[in-house]
Amino acid sequence: MRITHTVAPHEAGMTLQQLLRESLGLSARQTKIAKQAGAVLVDDVPFFSNQPLRAGMVVRVDLNEYDDMKNEPDASAPPVEVLYEDDALIAVYKPALLQCHPSPSAPGGSDTLESRVMAYLGAPAHPVHRLDAETTGIVLFAKVPYAQAKLQRQMQSRQFQKAYKAWVYGVPFPSGGIVDAPIALSAPDSFTRVVRDDGQNAMTIYDCTKTVALPGGGKASLVDLSPMTGRTHQLRVHMAYIGCPLLGDARYGTEESRAASKALGLNYHQLAAVGLRFTHPTSGETVSLHCPARFDFDGDSLPDA
C-alpha cells in the first residue's frame, strides 16, 4: 500500500521522522522497517530521517504489512461476503450470532468474523470497529495497522459515521429526534447498561419510517438510527429508554416486547448496520458504503398500523 503525502505549510521544519510518526501516524516499528527497506522517498529521492522538510515536498511511503500473523489462516473457515475492498481496506457482511473478533466468549481459534477475513486475505485483518454478536451488517477491516489507526482517530472525532436500521416494539413518540441520555454500567460486575446521570455522554439520532400491526396485537416500527457517540449497547439502551426496545432483545426488552418476540420466533435483536461514511486513510477521499438490512422479522409482509 502506498501513502503519498504533501508537506503542508504548518509541517514545514518537521524532520522526516517526525512527519512519519506524527502526521502519518506510523508506528516506530513501521517507520524503522520502511526506512531500512528504502521504502520512504521525498520528491522521489532518499531522504535522511533527521532532515527538515519544506512545504510542498511530496513524501511517499510504500507501506507493507509488517505485523506477524498471530495465527495461520484457517483454510477451512467459512467464506466471507465482501462488500468493498481496496489495497488498504475490506468491508464484509457479518451474519447474526457471529463474534467480530476473539473475546472471552470466543477465545483464540474460535470461528469469528476476523478469522474468516484473515482466511480470505491470507494475511492479518485489523478490525476498525465492531458489532454485537447478534447485530448483522457491514464491518470494516484495515489490511495494515496504519489504516486502522487513522480510521479509529476519525471515530474519536466523530468523522466516522455509521447508519443502522432496527425493528422495535411499539411506536416512537415523537416519530423522530435525538436521544441525549448518558449510559453507565448497571453494576460494576455487569455487562448490562442503563441510562443514568453519572454515565458517559451518549447521543442517538432516530427516525421512524414504518409502523406495522403485529399478528398477536401490538405494533412494531422500523427505525433509522445514527449514533453520534459509540457507547456499548448504545442503540439498544436508547431505544429501550424511549419505550421502544428492539424486537428480539432479551437483555433490554420489556415483558410485552419479549412476549411479542417469542410469538414471532425471534431469537436475537433485530438490528442491522447498513452504512458507513469516512475519509479514506490513504487517498483522503470520502467513502460511503451501504449494505441492505437483513432481518429475521418480515415486517414488510404485515399491514401498516
Could you give the CA distance from residue 280 to residue 217 in angstroms, rounded to a whole number?
47
The whole-angstrom distance between residue 239's C-alpha and the CA centroid of its chain comes to 20
Question: What 3-state DSSP class applies to 279?
Answer: strand
- Catalytic residue (choose from 44, 67, 74, 132): 132
The residues, ordered by sequence, that sit 6+ positions from 230 with a Cβ below 8 Å of its Cβ are: 129, 155
The residues, ordered by sequence, that sit 6+ positions from 267 with a Cβ below 8 Å of its Cβ are: 248, 296
- Is 74 part of the annotated catalytic residue set? no
Per-position DSSP letters for 109-139, written without gaps between them: TS--HHHHHHHHHTS--EESS---TT-EEEE
* Inter-CA distances, 81 with 76, 95, 112, 160, 226, Å: 15, 10, 14, 22, 24
Could you give the CA distance from residue 197 to residue 240 in angstroms, rounded to a whole number?
16
C-alpha cell at 154: 476519525
Instruction: Specify the pairing of strand 183-185 against strand 89-94.
Output: unpaired
Active site residues: 132
